[in-house]
Amino acid sequence: MKQAHKKLLQNCLLIMAGAFIYSVAINDLLLPHQIGEGGVTGLTALGFYTLKIQPALTNIVLNSILLVIGYKFLDKKTIFYSLWCIAWISVFLKLPPILHYQTKQTLIPAIFAGVLMGAAMGLIYRGNGTIAGSTIIASILNKYFGIQTGTAMLGLDLLVAIPSGLVIGTERMFLTIIELYIAAEVLNILNNLFGAKYSVKIITSKVEPMAAALSDQLKQGITMVHTHGYYSGEQRDMIYIICSKKQSVKLFALIEELDPSAMIVLEPVHSVAGNELQLLK
């Protein structure tokens, strides 16, 4: 139970940090330079530019509607963390500007905002949350179709960003597209570095000691797949594991120590449904 509470606290703090960085990018870089955004944030910016509607208000109203949609497709923990994220973004959007950065070279704030947005969303995803908006739909596309989250978000955000040129002008529309592309790339990079999953297949003559050592190392179940050699006819179990990139480094070292001649196949996994802890033991 203590471990669950610790994980809950960790996720909430990660999401709060991401929400703060996300809000700084909006308040200090996008809005002062009239750069648009995608998804709900883009609609929020357009509402501010045209009708002077406070971003905190449109953020919580529009995202709440999308969370109702996401409730049917995403797990309840993701919905809870997303509500937590939306609430804190709305709170931080009410804060006065922190960076006080103004420049006529609007490409600079567009690039900087893209980096901050991508980093913020990376933190929020690490906390198992989303910023709702297009990320709800992107998470659904990732879960059911295996599309990378950053790539899906970019496509969805462009549906709002491109028409926004009618309000903010063609030049700032292109700046918005640049910002969205950078944010998507930063998010994909962070996900690949810290959140990527890999499937590992191991063929070894030391199946039992190998499986026991890996299970103890990874603290999760190990799936055994029954196989046999075509020419030799030899029957042997193959070890199958889903692990993170960080875990795979330790895994390779352990396999090398136990059986240097073991055959290992490592493949990236674009989407994992369920919990790898539930793999057959």
Over residues 174-194, the pLDDT tens digits come to 888 888 889 888 887 887 776
Q: Which two tokens stand for residue 20?
A: 């703060």
Query: Rounded to whole angstroms, what are the CA distances from 268 to 165, 196, 241?
Result: 38, 7, 12
Assess contact for 152 and 180: CB atoms under 8 A: no
Q: What is the pLDDT of residue 280?
A: 39
Q: Which two tokens stand for residue 210?
A: 């190998």
Q: What is the pLDDT of residue 81?
A: 85
What's the CA gap between 244 and 218, in Å, rounded?
10
Cβ neighbours for 253, distance < 8 A, ≥ 6 positions apart: none
Closest CA to 120 of 80, 87, 81, 89: 89
How many angstroms separate the most distant Cα atoms in the chain?
75
What's the CA gap between 58 and 49, in Å, rounded?
13
Over residues 229-238, the pLDDT tens digits come to 777 777 777 8
Assess contact for 115 and 166: CB atoms under 8 A: no
Nearest-10 crossing angle of helices 55-70, 39-51: 150
- Dihedral-angle region of residue 35 (phi above 0 means left; psi in -120 to 50 means alpha; beta otherwise): beta
Strand arrangement of the beta sheet that strand 263-269 belongs to: 223-228, 235-244, 197-203, 263-269
Q: What is the pLDDT of residue 277?
A: 40
* Helix or strand run (H / E) with residue 204: none
What is the residue-wise DSSP string for 145-180?
Answer: H---HHHHHHHHHHHHHTTTHHHH-HHHHHHHHHHH
Q: What is the pLDDT of residue 17?
A: 94
Q: What is the pLDDT of residue 278?
A: 41
Q: What is the pLDDT of residue 270?
A: 55
Q: Which two tokens stand for residue 263?
A: 């055959």
Residue-level length of the chain: 281
Domain ranges of the chain: 2-195, 197-278
**pLDDT in 10s for each residue of the chain, 281 residues:** 577 788 888 889 999 999 999 999 988 888 888 888 777 777 888 888 888 888 888 877 887 777 777 777 767 787 888 888 888 988 898 888 887 777 777 888 899 999 999 999 888 888 887 777 777 777 777 777 777 766 777 777 777 788 888 888 888 888 888 888 898 888 878 877 766 677 888 888 888 888 888 888 777 777 888 887 777 777 777 888 887 777 777 788 888 888 888 888 887 765 555 554 444 33
What's the CA gap between 212 and 239, in Å, rounded?
11
pTM over 0.85: no
Considering the four listed CATH numbers 3.40.50.620, 1.20.120.140, 2.40.50.100, 3.30.70.120, the one that applies to the domain covering 197-278 is: 3.30.70.120
Q: Which two tokens stand for residue 16?
A: 């709060």
